[in-house]
Amino acid sequence: MFRRILLVFLPILALAQAPAAKKPPTVQEAQQFIERANDRLLELMIDFSLADWTRATNITDDTERMAAKLNDRLMSANAQMAKEAARFNGLKLPAETARQMKLLKLSLTAAPPADKKSSAELARLLAEMEGIYGKGKYCPEDGKPCQDLGDLSRIIARSRNPKELEAAWKGWHAISKPIREHYVRFVQLSNQGAKELGFEDTGAMWRSKYDMSPEAYAKEVDRLWEQVKPLYMSLHTYVRWKLREKYGDAVVPAKGPIPAHLLGNMWAQEWGALYPELAPKNADPGYDLTKILNARKVDAKQMVRYGEQFFSSLGFDPLPPTFWTRSQFLKPRDREVVCHASAWDIDFSEDIRIKMCIEINDEDFTTVHHELGHNYYQREYKNLPFLYRDSANDGFHEAIGDTVALSVTPEYLVKIGLLDKAPPQDKDIGLLLKRALDKVAFLPFGLLVDKWRWQVFSGAVPPAKYNEAWWSLRKQYQGVAPPVARTEEDFDPGAKYHVPGNTPYSRYFLAAILQFQMHRGLSQIAVCTDALHRCSIYENKAAGAKLKQMLAMGASKPWPEALAVVTNGQKQMDATAIVDYFAPLKKWLDEQNQGKPTGWE
């Protein structure tokens, strides 16, 4: 989320209208207003979470309507309260009250217009877009059985037949065509609501959530991208010439972008499925985690137990019994569900769950750790006021689980009994390449999804150029191209869950940066003297205590203060940690790439 991705945040919503004040507002009134807001937010969000869980785990017209109805109620109430909060502008407030007031104003991902009819339409569009995506299937014309995203993704990951890959890619991207019309209207309504709250557009509202101005945030992500771009370019160069060796000049150009269907992932956002073809000689680490898990007959629940065990080793309490009875671990056979992995906080206290369709492989082993990171974060901040029950910034929520997953090293696998002995360090290039094919390959995609949406929301990209702009950005940042000609009848952005699901995406780019920065900091706290990519904080209580301290802060402090807790005082996001982590690989890639063209036309 995602790859694994992820925690799906529909708007953090809610609230009831306070009585209109005729006199100038006071500090006491502001504090009372925030207290009411926290109480009402919690009440309405629990109602919506229950309905949305039901919808996501049983997609029907009825469950979609119910979720849309409660979503509309939440969005409308939250928007109304956010507008009322403006009444206290200019009033000198205590720091705690002022921060919660700010978070309230920025708590929406889709601000509903004041007009009730428009607000209801916005909620309906959100439910319908996600429903179209969740029920999407490709039905071949030759009468073969229809295939859902899971089926098509397996083809993309495993097939090496360009024609079969192209058919799977085209089949899935066709499901998003009906979403296009909905999305055009969604942008109009969402922008209307954002402007009523005082923002230029929805994109500006999203970029205001990072304890800096929207303009500063856009520059910040560009700065981080420039730090990692050389590493990505080295990886892209290597992958392209290796694919040319396999498929030939007619399929993979020497200097152009790589065709998206060849990269092992439906959105070409992660390339780990290609590792067998790309692995360096003599780099086999001597084990295959997927084969080990299946040989041990590990089931879906046991996969989750491994993740729980990791957090327990750091000093965290076990997951509550309801987690095990209420989560969705497997895809049901009797109903449609959203299989996209996500973590849920139903009552914003102890009723935490994950929703996955777990497969027994190394990727889902890591995904489980990622999703549990959300759940443990949610439980650590449960005692804060509701407006603080969130991560320091949304990149933090995505980073925590992956920070832990970086500790899934060979040494860790030995400690938990899945591996007899760790491979020697001369096998590290293979291990680093396999990880880079997911982590480094993801970076430009993590950035460009919201760059596209920011332009769409601002009007810089009109509906008539949605698809053209999408592929322009994918070429600019990723160096990938569609396998077949695309037109504006297509809506390829909608084939990625987070667009119809209205989930901001730059959080995943931040998470990809922050996880390495946090891993470096926690490894230093654990006094790890190995190379950064060999460090694991498993069983280290000192690192666990610092992680626990940061999680318990929730959103109560600006994110630089939270970051400093686990990075020995560092308060700026810094991509040098990912560069340090992959430094041996970068050196090796540049040696292999000598004489090969870099970049794309």
Residue type at position 10: L
Rounded average pLDDT over 461-483: 98
Q: How far apart are CA 435 and CA 20, in angstroms?
A: 56
pLDDT at 89 (0 to 100): 85
The predicted model gives 295-315 an average pLDDT of 96
Helices (H), 256-415: 275-278, 289-295, 300-313, 321-326, 362-380, 394-405, 410-415
Copy the structure tokens of residue 547: 């992680």
- Residues 159-171: what's their mean pLDDT? 96
The yes-or-no verdict on residue 16 having pLDDT over 50 is: no
In this prediction, residue 10 has a pLDDT band, given cuts at 50, 70 and 90, of very low
Q: What are the respective helix, strand and coil percentages of the chain, to the nearest 5?
A: 60, 0, 35
The closest alpha carbon to 410, from 418, 401, 400, 398, belongs to 418
Q: What is the pLDDT of residues 84-130, one digit of tens each?
A: 888 898 899 999 999 999 899 888 899 889 898 999 999 999 989 99
**SS3 readout for 203-242:** HHHHHCCCCCCHHHHHHHHHHHHHHHHHHHHHHHHHHHHH
pLDDT at 364 over 90: yes
Closest by CA position to 292, among listed 430, 409, 424, 419: 419
pLDDT digits (tens, 9 = 90+) for 517-534: 999 999 999 999 999 999
As a whole number of angstroms, the distance between CA 234 and CA 427 comes to: 20
Q: What is the mean pLDDT of residues 165-170?
A: 97
**Mean pLDDT across 194-204:** 93
Distance, CA of 306 to CA of 309 (rounded, Å):
5
**What's the length of the chain?**
601
pTM here is: 0.86
- Mean pLDDT across the stretch 131-144? 90
CA distance 133 to 213: 33
Q: How far apart are CA 188 and CA 212, in angstroms?
A: 26
Percent of the chain with pLDDT over 90: 81
pLDDT tens, 402-448? 898 899 888 899 999 999 998 887 778 998 999 999 999 999 999 99
Among 1-10, 314-323, 385-394, 586-595, the least confident range: 1-10
pLDDT at 83: 82
Sheet strands (E) in 434-566: 480-481
Residue 160 main-chain phi, psi, to 5 deg: -125, 20
| pLDDT for position 1 | 38
Q: How far apart are the first and last CA of the chain?
A: 29
The two structure tokens encoding residue 354 = 């994950």
Confidence of residue 601 (pLDDT cuts 50, 70, 90): confident
User: Could you tell me the maximum CA-CA distance found in the chain, to the nearest angstrom?
Assistant: 77
The 3-state secondary structure of 537-561, one letter per residue: CCCCHHHHHHHHHHHHCCCCCCHHH
Predicted local distance difference test score (pLDDT) of residue 569: 95
- Residue range 237-258: mean pLDDT, rounded: 96
C-alpha pair distances (Å), 113 with each of 103, 421, 601: 19, 60, 43
Q: Which of 42-46, 383-387, 406-410 is predicted with the least confidence, judged by mean pLDDT? A: 406-410
pLDDT greater than 50 at residue 257 = yes
- pLDDT of 599 reads 95
Token pair for 148: 């859902």
Q: Which residues are catalytic?
A: 340-341, 370-371, 374, 398, 498, 508
Q: Is the pLDDT of residue 544 over 60?
A: yes
